[in-house]
Structure 1
Amino acid sequence: MIMLWPLQTDEVYLEAQIQNITPGPIYMERVSLEPSNQYTAKELNTPEGKEGRLYGGVDYLSGSDTRQYLYCLSPRPELYADNKVLKGVTNIGKLDIVWKTNMGEKGRLQTSQLQRVVSQSM
């Protein structure tokens, strides 16, 4: 499940909940957000001021386990020059997920362009 959290600022927070629906464990090799050309992305999955990842050094998901990944997207500064362009940007990027099963089989999922909904009050 992917949730977008628009705020009163121009930043967009993206929450991705990834669930292992297989009976066996999987190893998450990569979960990343590839922002569109209009945004920069900051991964919020590392504890503030600490090295490493939020879930530790090994990203295993047992069967039926779920993990949440959070990203903050900010518009590139040059978009602020033309406010109409900024308000019209709806593509925010793609989520790229790569994993391995315990038998070494690889899997990959890349979403199509994720869209943010532009409210009429903007």
Structure 2
Amino acid sequence: MSLGLGLGLSLGSTNPAPQPSAADLICNAIHGLRQISATRGNKEFILAPHVVYWKASRPDELWLDAVVVSEGGVEPNKPKLKSLELVDLENVVALETAFEPFIGFHPDDPDYVSKTRCIIQPVE
């Protein structure tokens, strides 16, 4: 026998605030020139994100071009941009560590024009 005594006490919303998407976190990091950490497969990356964009050949997928600061705890021999599909990145966290834009990055590259969600602005 059910008495139906649902007290339903509620002083506010019980739903947690929606979490920002990985793209939103990365875009915020780009605008603040902050590094991010993320996992891809079983590797941990520290990245200096430069642009989130759609490739012309794959317009339904977001990509990230970033400088790899460390991959699996190992620093690269020389800095270079790496393209990563956003869907492959997990546990994306914005870090407090700032970075300088990569000298070899060109925001006016034809691959990015009219295809960006967010991009580093040139330092003047």
**TM-score (normalised: structure 2):** 0.24
* The structure with more radius of gyration: 2
Name whichever structure is richer in strand by fraction.
1
**TM-score (normalised: structure 1):** 0.24
